[in-house]
Structure 1
Amino acid sequence: MRSLLLIPLLASLTLPAMAGDNTPDDAPVYGPRLEGFDYPWSLHRFELDSQQQSLEMMYMDVAPQGKSNGETVVLMHGKNFCAATWESTIKALTQKGYRVIAPDQIGFCKSSKPQHYQYSLHQLAANTNALLSHIGIERATIMGHSMGGMLATRYTLMYPEATHQLVLVDPIGLEDWKAKGVPWQSIDDWYESGKKASAEKMRTYQKETYYAGQWQPEYDRWVEMQAGMYRGEGRDINAWSQALTYDMVFTQPIVYEFGDLKVPTLLIVGDKDNTAVGKGLASKEIQKTLGHYDELGPKIAEQIPASTYVHFEDLGHSPQVQAPERFHAALLKWLNQGH
């Protein structure tokens, strides 16, 4: 296994808009593994053998600015996010002396997207633990957002001795959608719907869910990061990877295990968040019962033995992007308490 600096990325390509859509002629087109989209820090490559195939897990390893405090934070991205989305959080943490590791999970963004892979939260946690062992990190603060919150919880349950403390930011999986009445959907159906992804659809969804009905021009970067992979030759493999991982998060609930966490845990929630995987497949009556983070947050916090609960009444699913100064003030206050 090797850790190497990635060669400079090619500039993003542009392709003409397809007939009948609203894609601008100069919209970016990124490669299957997000080639052409620049990350804010150098990328490293972790080569691993998993499920009888050789894979590459890309990650940023960002040193502290100035004097190190000797601590490391590992950031786990969400399902519709990448390691790069943590940019402002990485800056905030490294300015306070933390070393930050931010990987792209297998199946996402710049990491390998195998056609055949048995995705599970356990497998992704094991991949991440192998990466950390490879670069000599024995114990770290584990921090996850959205799907990354599910993964960070699973990681902590699997590797409590390697977890100093846990931070969950609007994690999905605070409820069991299937048990609450959301019908299962086949991977093939997830795939077909995924191929129809567009920047317009992403922007509409993100505005209402991630940013509580508000929109700022800087959010477009994260829309285009995702949409650009669907405009080029990587559309099908990205839609397929997304389909496989939708099935993963839907069929592997974590909500029943929060009481088993043994490390200090910070749960941060935007009360306006309304995320619920598969909500559109459910009846109108069931949809009304899903994704109430203002209720789910305090309920889950009570189940976690050593928890601190912080919520923002006016924010949505991505508080670290929507209100970074407020978010990082709360995060750093908790971290500085020295759990």
Structure 2
Amino acid sequence: MNKIPRRARFHRAEEMADAFLIKMNITKLPFVPLDVLHQMGVKINTYGKIANRLNCSYDEIAETFESADGYSSYDADTNKYAVAYNETKYPPERQRWTLAHELGHIVLGHFTEFTETRLARGGLTDNEYRVLDQEADAFASEVLAPGLVLFESGAYRNRDTIQDVCGISYTAAKYKAQYLSSIAAYSNVPKYMLLRKQFFEFMHIQYCPGCHALFIIKDADYCPICGGVHHTWYNPNLTIFEFLKDERGVIHHMIYPGPDFHNCPKCDNEEISDTDAYCKICGTTFVNTCTNEECRADADNNARYCVYCGSPTTYLQQGILEPWTKVANDKYSNIFSEEMPF
């Protein structure tokens, strides 16, 4: 057993939060600590349930736990953890932070690493209690708002965006934004590469307001469907997408499928294998690329335009793909009208 350090190990707490996200296979935000605690088999109680069972007040529970927000404990005999939180504390972001904080005490080994095995202030000095709380807060900040994910998605540039996406308080979002604004880039160390892989879709999904398409392409300058340049990072928790929600809160977007080659779309040749790059009868290519000779980047199966230079793709040029306006008008005529500036 070790002694509690004199100073909080902030970097360690952040690294362990990132490792925890990888271990639990978290792929999107907001991170929901209550669900994760249940998944880990941690016993969860609210102050209200405890107060009803013991026929006492919330204040008495808070006084016993020495916290108005939450408390965690560990039973060494059963190797089981328990967390209690005050469900009356609003806004909900405060409860989310409290649960992530208590999760931090568990994941950081605060109950098992040190000679002192309980976090009640009576068993610790003020400095020891402060050190462990600071570490748990550092863990909560990173697990709720992972720096790499916010940085590489571009969400870090706006405090309101961080608050909406991560479900944290404005103050916590402000500090996170200030911290991330001082970072030039995240390196390619293994843990960051794993986080990038896990959160790739979340970080790079884009919404185009011109054609209402969603696409997942890193560093795209142009929309692959309409060639527009006004696409933005897509997250349904952002207030800018409220106008897209129906009465059930569901966000609708346009789907532009690519061709399914069972036969050549030009000459109807049926002798096509999965490895064929072009039709042996008429020469139609089955690989979608940019038509710009100076670019020639590969394109997705449903892409009408190159996402890097905006030029038409071979599929659009050859007529394998219909113009996006025709697809939109045919399938979703109630959304698009002829007066829209295509």
TM-score normalised per structure 2: 0.22
TM-score normalised per structure 1: 0.23
By relative contact order (CA 8 Å, sep 6+), the higher-ranking structure is 1
Which of the pair is proportionally richer in strand?
Answer: 1
For the pair shown, the structure with the greater C-alpha radius of gyration is 2
